[in-house]
Structure 1
């Protein structure tokens, strides 16, 4: 009796067989990995406009074939079959780039633009730099904190009722489940982490918060932790800010905010909308200080720079 054996398989053959596997599930056959080409339609006018050329669709197809694409021309469009290994093709602009490569960069004629632009700092950044210089001159140190935080940090620890905020989905950390709606809680957190350092501590931050509707809100906040931190001391710093912003005519008004001591809090109304506070400031409430484990008096202010 003669026994027949199949020839031994080398590692390459075995790897190729294992590369594409068939799975039968409920009368369906799934082949993995899926090597079916993706299809993408690109307008010839789009290609020519970006490259400054006048190539007909058929010539664009010829160039794409040089880049190992299968492509079919139409009157105004080209349907491109993207090989499965070209995972870098995400947008029609990627096809345009490959057309340019196949055409040859050396064939493009450089042209000097007939217009010029000059770079300049945006008015917002100019104002921010002005405020940074002013606060640094007032012995403040700038800090930069994360825009992601959590609602407990933003509201409960600040002696405020829970409110809406932009929240993250499936957050890895319970510390970063929402976008901050104002900056002051983060500054108090910095003071909490540095409570074993020498006083006085004077810090500020200029940055964005996010409104509950998902809109960026540019803000400035500052905090002072010191045995001599009072409403009057923070008021003098705000006077310098108002003078720098040419808002000397904006006068303080009494204001109630649960994060500050009642009767030791005020607001500066916005010149654009007097019903909204441009700046709120005062002495931090003892309950808030206790929530952040801060054992020295603190005063702070926060400004909505979008209201200037």
Structure 2
């Protein structure tokens, strides 16, 4: 919205100072409703400070006339039963009107229907729910008594979420910085840059951006992208993320399954296989778990400098030193050692 009248503005004659007694307000725009609301807000704000508002008669070539500002209130109907059902209260129509009057509205009652006269400057009132919100604000949120809904499920925080939070706190003790990345990604980041074979993943049917057209199936590419964004910052850059990925699973109702993962990257001149493996061992030792470690893992790691860890036959972790070709794909100049751990498997064996 542009508030201007070129080239009259910026002139000495129209300079506004503490001695200015008269103002002409020009609001320019392409939406009559929007510019009318803006004009009303400006005029009523000045009126609150003692200004006297005068009408302007706008004559158009078709013979029509528009008088501005239009400061008359407008009407919206509000069902008092809708108020009570939404807020969980038992207000009479008179009580609802009393709350609305506190918010600057006036109203008349016709049975259970409240005809609300809304001030011209309340451009934020677009639906009856906005009037319900005004009633709630006037009544004061602290006065509402919370009720436990009649649910059959057991209330409480998800135990795996509690475990994930504890794991995050533990990793901070290893001088790792937590990052939070987008759930959405694309095949270029997930496979091509990581030099991983392409797999079936969940893709959006009509994406708005090519950069975010799929749900990630691994966490590590997202953290590698953070390293590529922060090349101008000092090293070492040791990062971690605990978050979800989505795996294709035809056995589920939705055809996909959400899994909780941990990804860690160590990026500095001396990043190596031993340090990243030691980090995994530290996590397992603190949980009093042991894993079988064998050579191998994802193709993004250097052959002979990578591993895969299992607990009870379940694959727990993939880790190692990232290939130089992968680092080139991300335009990362420093060596990187990384791991990705399946938190679901870890929590399963911990339980």
Mapping for residues 55-94 of structure 1, pairs under 5 Å: 55=92, 57=93, 60-61=96-97, 64=100, 67-70=104-107, 72-75=109-112, 78=114, 80=116, 85-89=121-125, 92=128, 94=130
**Contact in 1 for aligned 2:292/2:309 (Cα 8 Å):** yes
**2-structure distance, mates of 1:306, 1:219:** 7
* 1:203 shift after superposition: 1.0
- The alignment yields a C-alpha RMSD, in angstroms, of 5.3
Structure 1 stretches lacking a partner, 5+ long:
1-9, 25-31
Match of 1:251 in 2: 292
Match of 1:17 in 2: 57
**Contact in 1 for aligned 2:202/2:214 (Cα 8 Å):** no
Match of 2:243 in 1: 208
Match of 1:141 in 2: 176
Structure of greater relative contact order (alpha carbons < 8 Å, 6+ residues apart): 1
**Contact in 2 for aligned 1:41/1:78 (Cα 8 Å):** yes
List per-residue Cα deviations over 1:57-98 (Å, max 9, x = no partner): 3554576467434555445x5465656642333665542454
- Decide whether aligned partners of structure 1 residues 254 and 37 sit closer, same or farther in structure 2, where only a CA change above 3 A counts: farther
Confirm whether residue 44 of structure 1 aligns to residue 81 of structure 2: yes
**2-structure distance, mates of 1:304, 1:225:** 21
* 1:222 shift after superposition: 1.2
- The aligned length equals 275
Q: Secondary structure at the match of 1:288?
A: helix
- Decide whether aligned partners of structure 1 residues 294 and 78 sit closer, same or farther in structure 2, where only a CA change above 3 A counts: same
Mapping for residues 163-242 of structure 1, pairs under 5 Å: 163-165=201-203, 170=208, 181-192=217-228, 193-194=230-231, 201=236, 203-209=238-244, 211=246, 218-225=260-267, 229-242=271-284
Structure 1 stretch displaced more, 154-163 or 62-71: 62-71
**Contact in 1 for aligned 2:240/2:263 (Cα 8 Å):** yes
* 1:281 shift after superposition: 1.4
**Contact in 2 for aligned 1:195/1:294 (Cα 8 Å):** no
Q: Secondary structure at the match of 1:17?
A: strand
TM-score computed with the length of structure 1 as normaliser: 0.60
TM-score computed with the length of structure 2 as normaliser: 0.54
**2-structure distance, mates of 1:41, 1:134:** 53
* 1:206 shift after superposition: 2.4
Match of 2:317 in 1: 279
Match of 2:31 in 1: none
